[in-house]
Amino acid sequence: MIRTLRTASLFLLPLAACTKGDKVASFVDIPVVTVQATEEQGGSTSKITDAWVSVDERFIGVWELPAHVPVLAEGEHRITVVPAIKRNGTFDDRLRYPFYNEWNGNAYLTKDATTSVQPVTSYLGASEFWVEPFSDPIGRLNVTADSDTLLLAPFMPDPELDNTTCRGFVLDAAHPYIRLFTDEDFDVYGGPVFLELDYRTDVMLTVGVIYNYDGSTGTDAWVLVAPTLKSNGTMPWNKIYIDLSSAFNLAITQRDIYIEARLPSGQASATANIDNLKLLRLTP
């Protein structure tokens, strides 16, 4: 079961509990939660934004990372961290990611002092992956016949992105539109289905689903992915977790994923780079 988070209200509970009376809290710092993944799992990039934290199996709250967590305990204790993400990149829709394992570790806590932990998670053993790493010039994505341009050849390894190759496209007045799509006819398994994507772009991307229903082809735009271009001219990488669970549990067939971009009116050109595209389901 996927549970969404309303983070702000949860933050207040442990803080209040640790200031009652003369009790003095210990503190646990969680600067980041990283992912350890194999090449077959599509690499180790991640964007874990929140942590569900428990001490000795007692839940003490949901914390935005980096977190400074007050705990009314001292000495050796068992810390559990469950990774959470922003569903579809939405700020106020956060949930425990159903494909990451929880992390457990021991920490020695001291009153009015801070102990730092460095959680490392991995993918659940029951996770099934469809991965496009964008390392092959042929690749697993197709370009529609009405597209005005093609994917560029794989770029050199990028130190900002797990030091792996990526691909991309350029739009301009003569080449204003592109749609990339899978041709896999993904099956229905039931349960959660997520699409992970690393990207940097100065144009809006549309991620959607192509399917067959009652003999006709349908297309549903699912998520709009905002440009990452900053006011200082930099265009950093970002990562998004797109929840496709409902699309994969409808009475439709021949499901495929597409990524689409169109040059905005008045913009001379646009560039997008994409990497580590992976569809995750749980093995039935």
CA distances for 87 relative to 26, 112, 161, 240, 242, angstroms? 32, 35, 21, 8, 6
User: pTM for this structure?
Assistant: 0.90
Question: What does DSSP assign to residue 20?
Answer: S
Per-residue pLDDT tens over the stretch 39-96: 899 989 999 999 999 999 999 999 999 999 999 999 999 999 999 999 999 999 999 9
Taking 80 as the threshold, does the pLDDT of residue 209 lie above it? yes
Does the pLDDT of residue 230 top 90, yes or no?
yes
Instruction: Measure the CA–CA gap between 107 and 59, rounded to whole angstroms.
Output: 16
Query: Strands, E, within 244-283: which ranges?
Result: 253-262, 269-282
Greatest distance between any 2 Cα atoms in the chain:
71
Closest CA to 11 of 55, 69, 56: 69
Q: What are φ and ψ of residue 248, in 5° steps?
A: -90, 0
With CA atoms as reference, report the closest residue to 37 among 281, 278, 284, 282.
278
Domains parsed from the chain with CATH numbers: 4-121 (2.60.40), 127-282 (2.60.120.200)
